[in-house]
Amino acid sequence: MKALVLERKGELSLRDFDIVEKMGPQDVRVQIDVVGICGSDVHYYTHGRIGPFVVNEPMILGHEASGVVLETGSEVTHLKVGQRVCMEPGIPDPTSRPSRLGKYNLDPAVRFWATPPIHGCLRPEVIHPADFTFAVPENVTQAEAAMVEPLAVGLHAATKARVKPGDVALVTGAGPIGLLTALSALSAGCSHVYVTDVIREKLELARSLGSVTPLHAVDDDVNGAILSATDGWGVDVVFEASGNARAAAGVFDPLCPDGTVVFVGMPLEPIAYDVVAAQVKEARVEHVFRYAHVYPRALALMAGGGIDVKPLITDRFDFEDSIRAFEFAAAMPPSSVKAQIEL
């Protein structure tokens, strides 16, 4: 079938690709509708690797997908042919120790779309375990359903933060994950969220998302503004979603005593970590790696109106224009957040 293939670092082609997937009794065959382009897809395209994961042979990209069920395995009961769905891209070994502990995102054997050597979903069809395929509510569009994957990261981060009603949070970084984390923090009960970035267009979009104060990470006195707005106390939660070394090293400065830091972004290099700054506040520090069974919550929040991701879907491309879409995403204009490909 025709697929968007990363041949090697810097070289994409839209071509026929032989992919053998066997339909099992607990699988569904899904026609792909919409695939969001993720920073990780772009990074494999521009750098050929992320940490230990290296693109050594041609790989189909894409992991943020929605579609329609074409066929169900004989043991599948919760999905029907014609049903709109979205898919979790990571399939763990259900018998692994992390899976049995309820932390299947930490299973080292997880097979995750478009993480070498596993192929992604930028192709007309996939066969997928029904257990990792979720029915999309009637009032949620296929484009929104393709946002469930990155939203799940933000919701997982808010859950790890143990947000309480009325908490104030800071999100550093206004990329897709930062903005989805801000929306997640608000839906979890934060009364107000500060968002920092260096791109003014992204900060303006952040402002439009609700009770959000955007601050420029370099030109504004971020810590001064937060401390003066909170009677010198600081924010209850800092979500580090930029992956930027300077932002990551400064997470304890605007934090209140006994506050929580959640590391969401992935710095490319090890960062400075100020133990004493964390100690004097007895900061609780959490980390997230993807998510575990967050899709039902994400879909319920979208359907109930608690979270609206539509303002973040800024650019759409046809499947035929997939290569152009990736070139666009690799040099994203400041006003763009999430680009999606429609099949």
Q: How far is the CB of 279 from Zn ion (least distance, A)?
A: 34
Binds Zn ion (CB under 5 A): choice among 4, 12, 37, 38: 38
Angstrom distance (rounded) from CA 309 to CA 307:
6
Nearer Cβ to Zn ion (14/266): 266
Q: How far is the CB of 151 from Zn ion (least distance, A)?
A: 10
Nearer Cβ to Zn ion (146/301): 146
Q: Choose the binding region for Zn ion from 38-46, 77-85, 111-119, 275-283 (rule: CB under 5 A).
A: 38-46
Q: How far is the CB of 64 from Zn ion (least distance, A)?
A: 5
Nearer Cβ to Zn ion (111/200): 111
Q: Choose the binding region for Zn ion from 32-40, 197-205, 229-237, 329-337 (rule: CB under 5 A).
A: 32-40
Please tell me whether residue 208 adopts helix, strand or coil conformation. Answer: coil
Q: Choose the binding region for Zn ion from 31-39, 116-124, 184-192, 234-242 (rule: CB under 5 A).
A: 31-39
Q: Of all residues in this chain, which one has the CB nearest to Zn ion in the complex? A: 38
Q: How many residues bind Zn ion (CB under 5 A)?
A: 1
How would DSSP label each residue in 84-117?
A: EEEE-SEE--TTSHHHHTT-GGG-TT-EETTBTT
Q: How far is the CB of 68 from Zn ion (least distance, A)?
A: 21
Q: Choose the binding region for Zn ion from 36-44, 212-220, 312-320, 328-336 (rule: CB under 5 A).
A: 36-44
Tell me which residues in 101-140 interact with Zn ion (CB under 5 A).
Answer: none
Nearer Cβ to Zn ion (146/237): 146
Q: Choose the binding region for Zn ion from 34-42, 46-54, 66-74, 310-318 (rule: CB under 5 A).
A: 34-42
Q: Draw the binding track, 149-188, toward Zn ion (x: CB under 5 A; -: no contact).
A: ----------------------------------------
Closest CA to 337 of 305, 309, 297: 309
Nearer Cβ to Zn ion (53/233): 53
Nearer Cβ to Zn ion (123/192): 123
Nearer Cβ to Zn ion (234/243): 243
Beta bridge partners of 313: 338
- Residue 219, both tokens: 């030109």
Angstrom distance (rounded) from CA 210 to CA 146:
22
Integer CA distances (angstroms), 274 to 147, 166, 248, 253, 271, in order: 34, 28, 10, 10, 10
Q: Which residues contact 52 (CB under 8 A, 6 or more apart)?
A: none
Contact (CB, 8 A) for 150 and 180: yes
The H or E element that residue 35 is part of is: strand 27-36
Residues 291-294: contacts with CB under 8 Å, at least 24 apart: 291/105, 291/152, 291/153, 291/155, 291/156, 292/102, 292/103, 292/104, 292/105, 292/156, 293/104, 294/152, 294/155, 294/156, 294/159
The H or E element that residue 181 is part of is: helix 176-188
Binding site for Zn ion (CB under 5 A): 38
